[in-house]
Amino acid sequence: MTRPPHILPDRIDADADSVERDLFKLVLTVVELIRQLMERQALRRVDEGDLDDDQVEALGQALLRLDAAMAELRGRYGLTAHDLDLDLGPLGTLLGD
């Protein structure tokens, strides 16, 4: 039986800074996906009239604070919103526009 050719090297040369940045990028991508889902759910509830004016205001403020926090966290590692989007091949991108 022959061994398959080595696709990956025996040892991956990665520095701690790039590993940390890539992990942070992945975590922010997941958080951004959840943020977008929450925003869509909130808009659906507003459109259906499920929320009173105070709830709409509180929800809007919370989403604005979350957006500002995400921008600050992206800035720490020099990432843009576009950097967090993943290409899913024929399915398009994870985060969309």
Where helices occur in 1-97 by DSSP H, the ranges are 16-47, 53-76
Other beta carbons less than 10 A from residue 21's beta carbon = 15
Kindly report the pTM of this predicted structure: 0.71
Provide the mean pLDDT of the chain: 85
- Three-state DSSP class for 44? helix
pLDDT digits (tens, 9 = 90+) for 50-61: 899 999 999 999
The residue extents of the domains of the chain are 20-76
pLDDT digits (tens, 9 = 90+) for 27-71: 999 998 998 899 999 999 999 998 999 999 999 999 999 999 999
Other beta carbons less than 10 A from residue 29's beta carbon = 17
Structure tokens given for 10: 């025996």
**pLDDT score of 6:** 61
Give yes or no for residue 72 having a pLDDT over 90: yes
Please count the CA atoms within 13 angstroms of the CA of 38 that sit on its side-chain side: 13
